[in-house]
Structure 1
């Protein structure tokens, strides 16, 4: 029996052409997948005509798409999908993304599988394989596929401390590891990651894009750890209990 896979995409104001490219990449998967798009307070009416599920939220959450991501994923879990993956509105998948993750999961009896990512310019041109994401110690939300034994992690995206919710994938990683879920990686670069961060272009020889750029520097894990340890113990305990990781 063909396993049912859902790919969840939250969106809020991204160009419709980017959303269409993301959707087309889900439709072109060698293993069929259902695309669930979640409008975070700014719905695109055109999506209603696509072969996809379209969830519209009445207000934006201003949390980098993580609350709508959690809502879409929980909907997929409630519908009985066998695996749930994620795709940001500005990125797209290579055709063998879903099939390669299902294969590595089946071979190793995994509860969480991940891929690698390939960096693309804002205009879509290919740059290089990402050196920061290894699929095990570090991963990107777009690279993840979660299976039923780990579905309790789906709500964590919306429960990460607000100050650091923009890097919720790191917190989800910590949560999954604390629960000792079985991880594995396809070691294949099957996610096309559109680089929108200003600091990336500041430190490269590439010309700075003139639009759709985000001026945010992702902190090094060491900085994140220092921030976390500087919190009062009762505040750390509160956040861990909210996420269900205490």
Structure 2
């Protein structure tokens, strides 16, 4: 198996990126790590044990374009599986092995296109967050694509700016719309380092002024303002129906 892990990055500190790299390098099944600079490249990565791709500008889309470019490159080079890991997160040493094991649990002859890994939450200071994941949200870092899902990869780069903050939801909807068959891992293997308001609040500590929040109401208003023709064009573009309550 040739496995690629795709990491878009922008302005994360070196120590944070090094932690991410170490978690991929420590996999029990060897993985190639592709880091894609979204307009703010770290020169030191050119001599690190990774592949370093440089985009000439930042796209301001939570890494969607950079993620899509890296994954398309891996697909075009014939990798057998493609995972994703944001620069501020990390994976357990057996993450890739767990994803491959999930394929095997589907039974002989079963075709799996996507494995959904499980995640735990942690604040930037290392504090654990005892909050259950949203079962309706498949986070980017939990995706492990097999060749049957590769035709959907380009959708990452086609998510328009007003939907960028929910790009993972849009991409998952595109996978479902494409009929991709999915399996789930047996346990958590992704550590998601969160800066979201909900996770700070759940930890019982103070919520920093720069904590993140998604304004779903604003996104819903943007979608509702589209004409029927614009709505159809959007859904053709992203490969899925856009339904926001």
Q: Same fold (TM over 0.5)?
A: yes
Deviations 1:17-59 (A, max 9, x none): 1100000000011111110000011000111121110000111
Distance 2:211 2:41 in 1: 21
- Which of 110, 113, 116 is residue 112 of structure 2 equivalent to? 110
- Which of 105, 128, 135 is residue 126 of structure 1 equivalent to? 128
Deviations 1:62-92 (A, max 9, x none): 1110100000000111111000000001101
| SS of alignment partner, residue 110 of structure 1 | coil
Shift of 1:124: 2.5
Distance 1:27 1:149 in 2: 26
Mapped pair 1:47 → 2:45: yes
Are the aligned partners of 2:98 and 2:185 in contact in 1 as well (CA < 8 Å)?
Answer: yes
Query: Could you list the runs of 5+ residues in structure 1 that have no partner in the other structure?
Result: none
| SS of alignment partner, residue 105 of structure 2 | helix
Give 1:220-239 correspondences, 5 Å limit: 228=223, 231-239=226-234
Distance 1:201 1:155 in 2: 33
Give the match for residue 200 of structure 2: 201
- Which of 210, 213, 217 is residue 216 of structure 1 equivalent to? 213
Query: Could you list the runs of 5+ residues in structure 2 that have no partner in the other structure?
Result: none
Distance 1:57 1:239, change over 3 A: same
Are the aligned partners of 2:9 and 2:36 in contact in 1 as well (CA < 8 Å)?
Answer: yes
| SS of alignment partner, residue 95 of structure 1 | coil
Distance 1:216 1:245, change over 3 A: closer
Distance 1:203 1:217, change over 3 A: farther
Distance 1:132 1:17 in 2: 27
| SS of alignment partner, residue 116 of structure 1 | strand
Deviations 1:127-179 (A, max 9, x none): 33x52343xx4310000001111101111111113201111111111111111
Are the aligned partners of 1:122 and 1:194 in contact in 2 as well (CA < 8 Å)?
Answer: yes
Give the match for residue 22 of structure 2: 24
Are the aligned partners of 1:199 and 1:217 in contact in 2 as well (CA < 8 Å)?
Answer: no
Shift of 1:226: 7.2
Distance 1:201 1:187 in 2: 27
Give the match for residue 78 of structure 1: 76
Distance 2:124 2:204 in 1: 14
TM-score norm. by structure 2 comes to 0.89
Distance 2:36 2:211 in 1: 21
Distance 1:127 1:194 in 2: 10
Distance 1:91 1:215 in 2: 16
Distance 1:44 1:232 in 2: 42
Give the match for residue 157 of structure 1: 156
Distance 1:202 1:55, change over 3 A: same
Distance 1:41 1:224 in 2: 26
Give the match for residue 172 of structure 2: 173
